[in-house]
Structure 1
Amino acid sequence: MELVERCIVFLMMTMVAVQVSNAAVHKVGDSSGWTIIGSVDYKKWSATKNFQIGDTIVFEYNAQFHNVMRVTHAMYKSCNGSSPLTTFTTGKDSIKITNYGHHFFLCGVPGHCQAGQKVDINVLNVSAAAAATPTKSPSALASPVPVANTPAPSPNNASPLIVAKGAFGFVGLAMTVFSSFYF
């Protein structure tokens, strides 16, 4: 019985580790980093990412020539870094995303933002976005498609396969396997 308890504790710890590992780390600008050299298109870069709460955004840059300022939308649009919400200057700044919405960053060195060194990290609330998306109804002009005369599938006496995703599915599978050995 002690072995079963150890297995359960191990599985619970594994479940926590898997849940934590779902967070992604995004290096701004990928291999180019946070710079004005090389014409990095940060708008295009951020558009290719799927940012989630819990993800970490990493700005890597030469601290002698750049910084990172978190700013408001108006400041972002006008490249105004005169009163940022937060300033980072280490050269390797990690910022954890803790809420949905837009997170605006720019380089406060004169001329850098105007040269394109600014990024909008947009964290979508996927469930809210899906609920707000209207479903398309069929057009009144569309002609109906006839239903094919396909026979119904024959009944299957096998028990249904229920698939659980993520850490809970892994834990459930592991518990089932371990219980078959000990019970």
Structure 2
Amino acid sequence: MCKIKGITIFGMMVLLCNIASATTFIVGDIKGWTYNSVGWPNGKSFKAGDVLVFNYVPKYHNVVVVDKASYGKCTTPEGAKVYYSGHDEITLEKGEHFFICDFPGHCEGGEMKIAVTVT
């Protein structure tokens, strides 16, 4: 019984350490989520638990979570999660993540889209 409690406490400590080491990234840095954001992830390392913050004017942009195919085509699949608050915080899980702005013309040409790989 004590062994189980020790494992549980250890597991909670590991979880808390991972949360404490998470990094918050402002997408687009000082410019925010706007045109020419496609290269923003270059040179950055993302880990599970990190948070992406998308800052933008909701009247002009949004954030849509898409799959790889939709990212390449700049399309919004049925049932996609769409954010429109102007200050969206998305916690990353391990794997590939794709985000676009689906306002007409914003994603096309690589303007408002990013792909992030999380370890």
**Which interval holds the TM-score relative to the shorter structure?**
0.7 to 0.9
**Relative to total residues, which structure has the larger helix share, 1 or 2?**
1
Secondary structure (helix, strand or coil) at the match of 1:103 reads strand
Instruction: Give me the identity figure in percent.
Output: 34
Q: CA deviation at 1:48?
A: 1.6
Question: Where in structure 2 are the equivalents of 1:14-163 lying within 5 Å?
Answer: 19-36=18-35, 40-42=36-38, 44-83=39-78, 85-98=80-93, 100-115=94-109, 116-124=111-119
CA drift of 1:83 comes to: 2.6
TM-score by length of 1: 0.53
Larger radius of gyration: 1
Kindly report the root-mean-square deviation, in angstroms, between the aligned alpha carbons of the 2 structures: 1.9
Aligned length: 105
Runs of 4+ in 1 over 6 A off after TM superposition: none
Task: State the structure with bigger RCO (CA 8 A, min sep 6), 1 or 2.
Answer: 2
Q: Distance in 2 between matches of 1:84 and 1:68?
A: 14
Residue 97 of structure 2 aligns with an amino acid whose one-letter code is H
**Distance in 2 of aligned mates of 1:94 and 1:17:** 20
How far apart are the structure 1 equivalents of 2:95 and 2:16? Answer: 27
Structure having the higher strand fraction is 2
Structure 1 SS opposite 2:61: coil
